[in-house]
Amino acid sequence: MKIIENINEIEKPYNNAVVTIGNFDGVHIGHQALLHTVIEKADAINGTSIAMTFNPHPIRVLAKNGQPPLITLPEQKAELIARAGIQVLIIVPFTKDFATLGAHEFIKSLLVEKIGMKAIVVGKDYTFGRNKEGDLNLLREISNKLNFDIILVDWIQASNGLNRRISSTKVRELVMNGKMDDAKKILGRYYQIRGTVAGGRNRGGKLLGFPTANINLHDELCPKRGIYAVTVEHGGKSHLGVANIGYSPTFDDHIFTVEVHILDFDKNIYGDRIRVNFIERLRDEKKFKSIEALAGQIRKDIIHARKILAGAA
12-37 pLDDT, tens per residue?
999 999 999 999 999 999 999 999 99
- Residue 163: inside a domain, yes or no? no
Same domain, 62 and 119: yes
Entry pTM: 0.90
Give the pLDDT confidence score for residue 154 in this predicted structure: 85
Instruction: Count structural domains, the chain.
Output: 2
What is the arithmetic mean of pLDDT over 167-181? Answer: 95
Same domain, 119 and 198: no
Same domain, 240 and 106: no
Cβ neighbours of residue 118 closer than 8 Å, sequence gap 6 or more: 16, 17, 18, 45, 47, 148, 149
Q: Is the pLDDT of residue 211 over 70?
A: yes
**How do beta strands 257-262 and 213-217 pair?**
antiparallel
Residues present in the chain in total: 313
What is the arithmetic mean of pLDDT over 113-124? Answer: 95
Same domain, 100 and 206: no
Domain range holding 17?
2-153
What is the arithmetic mean of pLDDT over 201-207? Answer: 50
Q: Is the pLDDT of residue 205 over 70?
A: no
The string of pLDDT tens digits covering residues 274-302 is 999 999 999 999 888 888 888 889 999 99
Same domain, 139 and 205: no
Strand partners, 49: 18
**How do beta strands 88-93 and 237-246 pair?**
unpaired
Same domain, 126 and 12: yes
- Residue 176: inside a domain, yes or no? no
Give the pLDDT confidence score for residue 224 in this predicted structure: 96
Distance from chain centroid for Cα 181 = 15
Give the pLDDT confidence score for residue 200 in this predicted structure: 60
Same domain, 200 and 142: no
- Residue 74: inside a domain, yes or no? yes
Same domain, 223 and 104: no
- Residue 162: inside a domain, yes or no? no
Give residue 268's pLDDT band: very low, low, confident or very high (50, 70, 90): confident
- Residue 110: inside a domain, yes or no? yes
The CATH number of whichever domain residue 100 belongs to comes to 3.40.50.620
- Residue where a domain terminates, one of 105, 125, 153: 153
Give residue 206's pLDDT band: very low, low, confident or very high (50, 70, 90): very low
- Residue where a domain terminates, one of 133, 153, 173: 153
Q: Is the pLDDT of residue 254 over 80?
A: no
Give residue 162's pLDDT band: very low, low, confident or very high (50, 70, 90): low
Same domain, 110 and 242: no
Q: Is the pLDDT of residue 140 over 80?
A: yes
**Which is more confident, 88 or 58?**
88
- Residue 158: inside a domain, yes or no? no
207-212 LR contacts (CB < 8 Å, sep 24+): 207/291, 208/291, 208/294, 208/295, 208/298, 209/295, 210/261, 210/295, 210/298, 210/302, 211/261, 211/266, 212/244, 212/259, 212/260, 212/261
- Residue 261: inside a domain, yes or no? yes
**Which is more confident, 91 or 160?**
91
Same domain, 235 and 288: yes
Strand partners, 245: 226, 258
Whether the ω angle into residue 56 lies within 30 degrees of 0, i.e. cis, is yes
Same domain, 130 and 6: yes
- Residue 161: inside a domain, yes or no? no
Q: Is the pLDDT of residue 53 over 70?
A: yes
Rounded to the nearest integer, the mean pLDDT of the chain is: 89
Q: Look at the alpha carbons of 277, 282, 285, 291 in this order and tell me if their dihedral is positive or negative.
A: negative
Give residue 201's pLDDT band: very low, low, confident or very high (50, 70, 90): low
Contact assessment for residue 233 and residue 309, using Cβ atoms and an 8 Å cutoff: no
Give residue 66's pLDDT band: very low, low, confident or very high (50, 70, 90): low
The CATH number of whichever domain residue 285 belongs to comes to 2.40.30.30
Q: Is the pLDDT of residue 38 over 80?
A: yes
- Residue where a domain terminates, one of 132, 153, 174: 153
Contact assessment for residue 271 and residue 250, using Cβ atoms and an 8 Å cutoff: no
Short-list 125, 82, 90, CA closest to 17? 90
Same domain, 11 and 138: yes
